[in-house]
Amino acid sequence: MEKSRRAGVALVRDMNLSSVMRHIHREGSLSRAQLAQRTHLNKATISSLVEELIELRLIHESGMDTSGFGRPATMLDLNPEAGYIIGVEIGVGFISIILTNFTGKILWRRFEELNSILNQEEITRRIFQFLDEGREIARKDGKRLLGTGLALPGMVDVDQGVMIFSPNLQWRDVPLRQMFSEHVGLPVFVDNDANAAALGEHLFGAARQEQHFLFIVAGVGVGGGLFLNGELYRGARGLAGEIGHTSLYVEQTRPCRCGNRGCWENFANQSSLYERIRSRLDVGRRSLITGILEKQLSPLNLSIINQAAEAGDREVLEAISETGAALGLGVANLINIFNPEMVIIGGSLSIVGKYMLPAVEEVIEERTLEVMCRPIKILVSAFGSDASVMGAVALVVREILSKPEVVNSVPQIP
């Protein structure tokens, strides 16, 4: 009985520690008195919890608030120097790795485009090399590493840390959490890239106060992270969000990499934008793209497309708008189904997001039930193509916000 009672007390304390952390994260600087009001805990309990979190180096006293009457209040904030976090995004044709502090500030990064002939083992080996660089930076800076997050393009078993299937990578049943844990010796958290991006936006970005929003990752594929009632929606088997493989087009089209036909992502991804531009060039339409490609001796890419768009190239702007309209069609359906407060678009296509967004919004206006789309915010993620790798960092931060004492069990860098 006594053992059970102690376990109950410990559980309540863990929940209270998490509550304090979440309030400070969500609202910013708070005093002990304000935390007592927010959490409905007495001041003595709050003081004890705060001291414990300060000892864990997760929060710190950040200054005095002298704006009110009476004695100045000591303000508390998350401690950016609580430790470093490594975020990894395995993309289609690239890997992106960042090292951040506890509040998501990027301190170091590595990005590498990958040759299509590289196999899974070679890609993993390359990532491990970058991970070792990040670990060495943390060691030299004298900072503890709090964990590693992985954002992956495909269906992920989050509990087991296994990539079940990635249509665009053609990887199946890869035990990535086990592989990375064995290499880095740290806690490793794994999720789908769109789910991770949605979480990153919720913890670090424009959706911090939103309870119902959609995050659309548009790049080589199209994926979605769904935040409903303040929680990431995962579905019955944890695989919700494969929105790019919704069959929106009934005509016989070329097969998608998933094996189906008519998938939305084939009409709203970066490859579809390339095809729209090439089809214009093939029939002799004049575009700045031709000269840029010749000058840079480079294949068509989003950076070149953005250059032409910034110069007002009509053909490129039309192709971007057509891609935006295709993206907007799928988003309109999602709005009708989920009734979100906000839709955020990230991923590599966000490079041309400001040129694409008007077409997205126009189609949403046309195709969405009026009561659903007003008011609703449609945004391009401020993280842009970093949305998913920032989400990988957010996977670690979320774990610490939920269970602050886990930092005690993180191995120190030798």
For 232-253, what is each residue's pLDDT tens digit? 998 888 888 888 888 887 666 7
Among candidate residues 110, 177, 103, 176, the one with its CA nearest the CA of residue 137: 110
Neighbours of 295 (CB within 10 A): 9
Helix, strand, coil share of the chain (percent; to 5): 50, 20, 30
All residues at 6 or more sequence positions from 100 whose CB lies less than 8 Å from its CB, including other chains: 84, 85, 87, 106, 107, 393
When pLDDT is cut at 50, 70 and 90, the band that residue 413 belongs to is low
Give the mean pLDDT of 391-404: 96
pLDDT of residue 236: 81
Give the mean pLDDT of 195-207: 93
What are the pLDDT digits (tens) for 276-288? 999 999 999 999 9
pLDDT of residue 1: 55
Q: Can you tell me the distance from the alpha carbon of 319 to that of 280, in angstroms, rounded to the nearest whole number?
A: 9
Q: Can you tell me the distance from the alpha carbon of 234 to that of 162, in angstroms, rounded to the nearest whole number?
A: 15
Phi, psi of 396 (to 5 degrees): -75, -45
| Burial grade of 199 (CB within 10 A; 0-12, 13-18, 19 or more) | buried
Among candidate residues 83, 67, 69, 56, the one with its CA nearest the CA of residue 29: 67
Phi, psi of 334 (to 5 degrees): -65, -35
Is the confidence at residue 67, as pLDDT, over 90? no
Q: Can you tell me the distance from the alpha carbon of 331 to that of 312, in angstroms, rounded to the nearest whole number?
A: 27
pLDDT of residue 7: 58
All residues at 6 or more sequence positions from 282 whose CB lies less than 8 Å from its CB, including other chains: none
